[in-house]
Amino acid sequence: FALGLLAGRHVLINAGPTREAIDPVRYISNYSSGKMGFALAEAAAEAGARVTLVAGPVNLTTPPRVERIDVVSARDMLAACEMALPADVFIASAAVADYRPAEAADAKLKKDPGSDSGMQLELVRNPDILATLAAHAQRPWCVGFAAETHDVLSYARDKLQRKNLDLIIANDVSQPDIGFNSDDNSVTLIDRSLHQQHLPQASKSKLAREIIHLIAGYLPAQPE
């Protein structure tokens, strides 16, 4: 594997889910394992990059030579990513919660013992971390993921354009043996000129190396 491919580059990666507090003991989150992002961080470090990995709550060990910053909520993740700029590349593999409770209660919410009625939880939109970094004054080369259950490639192309990305990695999460929580994945990369490249099912670490290799090929040459 091409060892010095990313020498001198700073690669910023986010990974895992975010947790959005309802009260001190409850939250909204998702099933993201963070495995793909950690595999990408490992592969980027192997390729010689300086790697900053901003991680939501996951049960994974930090790859060698990777600087890891742990966060909980989407807003914390955005702040940590912005703090890590400038970067040559940003790979947004995190499954950021799209919404958070409008207010996190200071004390544990109690159910009304005298009633069987339900409750309403008001949600507000979270910031889009990837779109924010893609519009930043210190804009890195931006890579997004599109995890979809249907019309995978057309949604991915739409996200590439809407979020102004350089590359999107489309991922069919309707198949149980690949994607979200599994060890294998199969993806299709789509670049700005809508050139498509399919990477067949393989372990996330093998795919991560292939993805890092392809990303390195897109980067503008470094000043001498």
Contact residues: ligand C5P, CB under 6 A: 74, 92, 94, 96, 98, 126, 128-130, 144-146, 159
Task: Say if residues 14 and 54 touch (Cβ distance below 8 Å).
Answer: yes
Which residues, including other chains, have CB under 8 Å from residue 87's CB and lie 6 or more apart? Answer: 10, 11, 12, 52, 140
In degrees and rounded to multiples of 5, residue 133 shows phi and psi of -70, -30
Q: Is 98 annotated as a binding residue?
A: yes
* From 30, 59, 171, 185, active-site residue: 30
State the nearest-atom distance from the C-beta of 130 to ligand C5P, in Å: 3
State the nearest-atom distance from the C-beta of 216 to ligand C5P, in Å: 19
Q: Which is nearer to ligand C5P, 11 or 48 (CB)?
A: 11
Report the 10 Å Cβ neighbour count for 110: 8
State the nearest-atom distance from the C-beta of 144 to ligand C5P, in Å: 4
State the nearest-atom distance from the C-beta of 213 to ligand C5P, in Å: 19
Would you list the DSSP string of 20-68? EEEETTEEE------HHHHHHHHHHHHTT-EEEEEE-S---PPPTTEEE
Q: Which is nearer to ligand C5P, 96 or 215 (CB)?
A: 96
- The question of whether 185 is a catalytic residue gets the answer no
Q: Is 111 annotated as a binding residue?
A: no
Q: Which is nearer to ligand C5P, 71 or 74 (CB)?
A: 74
- Of the CA atoms within 13 Å of residue 88, those in its CB half-sphere come to 20
- Separation between Cα atoms, residue 172 and residue 165, nearest integer Å: 19
Q: Is 163 annotated as a binding residue?
A: yes
In degrees and rounded to multiples of 5, residue 57 shows phi and psi of -70, 110
Q: Is 204 annotated as a binding residue?
A: no
Q: Is 128 annotated as a binding residue?
A: yes
Q: Which is nearer to ligand C5P, 65 or 79 (CB)?
A: 79
- Of the CA atoms within 13 Å of residue 221, those in its CB half-sphere come to 2
- Residues marked as binding? 98, 108, 127-130, 145, 159, 163
- Residues marked as binding for CTP? 98, 108, 127-130, 145, 159, 163
Q: Active-site residues: which are they?
A: 30
